Amino acid sequence: MLLLGTYTPRLDDKGRMFLPAKFRDTFRGGLVMTRGQDHCLYVYPMAEFEKLAERWQSAPTTNADVRAHQRLLLSGASDETPDKQGRVTVPAVLRDYAGLTHECTVIGSGNRLEIWDSQAWETYVANHEEGYANQSEEVVPGL
């Protein structure tokens, strides 16, 4: 599974959005939506989230950073099932966290989707694109 691309669905007045059509089969069995970094939302297929949660649960809870990460990630998590039309509800607490209004940007980010407020995404790209284009050293080991 590799989730790729950029899409611009709208959030309706009930807090629902259509998942991009190309991903609907991937999320048909359910998904987990949670706080992401940089004030976006992470959306994982249920099976992928279960694998990640298993790894997080084995992390040492004696480490304060591990506890904080687990608490923020898991306390904001919401399991959702898309309806027959491919819509999914974004809970109010997550909409508030990500500053979502009507205009959203959904990006494929490998094993997950990210949901951004469209203006926040445009700002993020503007702030990071030049550094990405001019990267002169290896960021990810081996790539």
Supply the DSSP string of 71-112, one letter for each residue.
HHHHHT-EEE---TTSEEE--HHHHHHHT--SBEEEEE-BSS
User: Does the residue 140 lie in any domain?
Assistant: no
Domain annotation covers residue 1: no
- Contact, 106 vs 8, CB < 8 A? yes
Across 130-139, average pLDDT: 72
**Has residue 37 been placed in a domain?**
yes
46: CATH: 3.40.1550.20
The reported pTM is: 0.89
Instruction: Give a yes or no: residue 30 inside a domain.
Output: yes
Question: How do residues 58-82 score in pLDDT, each as one tens digit?
Answer: 888 788 988 888 888 888 899 999 9
For residue 77, give the nearest of 129, 34, 37 by alpha carbon: 34
For position 142, what pLDDT does the model report?
A: 60
Q: Is residue 109 domain-resident? A: yes
Task: Please tell me the predicted confidence (pLDDT) of residue 128.
Answer: 86
Least confident of 28-32, 39-43, 130-134: 130-134
Q: How many CA atoms lie within 13 A of 68 on its CB side?
A: 3
Q: Does the pLDDT value for residue 136 go beyond 70?
A: no
What pLDDT is recorded for position 87? 95
Beta bridge partners of 114: 42, 107
Q: Indicate whether 137 pLDDT > 80.
A: no
Look over the chain and give the mean of its residue pLDDT values, rounded to a whole number.
90
Q: How many domains are contained in the chain? A: 1
- Residue among 27, 8, 1, 22 nearest 107 (CA): 8
The interaxial angle of helices 46-57 and 64-75, nearest 10 deg, is 150
First-to-last C-alpha distance (Å) of the chain: 20
Instruction: Identify the domain containing residue 116 by its residue range.
Output: 6-133
In a domain, 116, yes or no: yes
Greater confidence (67 vs 86) lies with: 86
The partner residues of 3 in beta bridges, in order of sequence, read: 110
Would 141 be classed as within a structural domain?
no
Strand partners of residue 117: 104
